[in-house]
Amino acid sequence: MRRIVSNTSPLTNLAAIGQLNQLHRLFGRVDIAHAVWDELNANGRSWPGRDEVARASWIVRQIPKNGALIRALQRDLDRGESESIALAVELGADLILLDEQDGRRIAQQQGLKPMGVVGVLLLAKQCGLLSAIRPELDALRTDAGFWLGDSVYQLALQKARESS
């Protein structure tokens, strides 16, 4: 089984469209940094997925140990992204789930392979777990408020062989 670390955005966006369990179906276990859990509970706000993450035995909270790396990453990224990348480096993760462009770029610089929520949906379709991604992409835009540019939307549909 592959080692996966997730930042906050993929969790909340997949939960908002009722697809959080795809992570379990695809990867089995998902590790999250403690800062991700803190973000899910920030300011008393209940983000989509918070309760599901709390109940999911397959999502494991961990505290990354490399404080120097976290501090260096925080020059350009928020705490959740920084701790997620540091944890992925420490664990030798096969994949890190990040949606933010800067986080993905820096993860690649750290030798990690980033994947966003759209990539998760594509993988779920390729594995036969979803029959179509168009409804899920539409739900990301409307229900989750996820900004998804038209070019990425069309490219995802092409890759899923759903383009019209």
- Taking only the tens place, the pLDDT of each residue in 72-86 is 999 999 999 999 999
Q: Which domain holds residue 23?
A: 4-118
The tokens for 69 are: 């790396």
Query: Is residue 47 in some structural domain?
Result: yes
pLDDT, tens digit (0-9, with 9 covering 90-100), for 133-155: 999 999 999 988 888 899 999 99
Query: Is residue 129 in some structural domain?
Result: no
Instruction: Report the chain's mean pLDDT, rounded to a whole number.
Output: 92
Beta bridge partners of 33: 62
Q: What is the DSSP letter of 32?
A: E
pLDDT of residue 46: 67
Provide the whole-model pTM.
0.92
Query: Is residue 114 in some structural domain?
Result: yes
Beta bridge partners of 59: 30
pLDDT of residue 103: 95
Query: Is residue 28 in some structural domain?
Result: yes
Query: Is residue 26 in some structural domain?
Result: yes
Number of domains in the chain: 1
Residue 64 in contact with residue 38, Cβ under 8 Å?
no
Query: Is residue 18 in some structural domain?
Result: yes
Beta bridge partners of 115: 97
* DSSP per-residue string spanning 38-106: HHHTGGG---TTHHHHHH-TTEEEE----HHHHHHHTTTS-HHHHHHHHHHHHHT-SEEE--SHHHHHH
In the block, which residue shows the tokens 């990867």? 27
pLDDT of residue 45: 64
CATH number at residue 38: 3.40.50.1010
Rounded CA separation 141/35 (Å): 26
Rounded CA separation 139/144 (Å): 7
Query: Is residue 147 in some structural domain?
Result: no
pLDDT of residue 43: 61
Residue 18 in contact with residue 97, Cβ under 8 Å?
no
3-class secondary structure, 25: helix
Query: Is residue 95 in some structural domain?
Result: yes
Strands 95-97 and 4-6, by their bridges, are: parallel
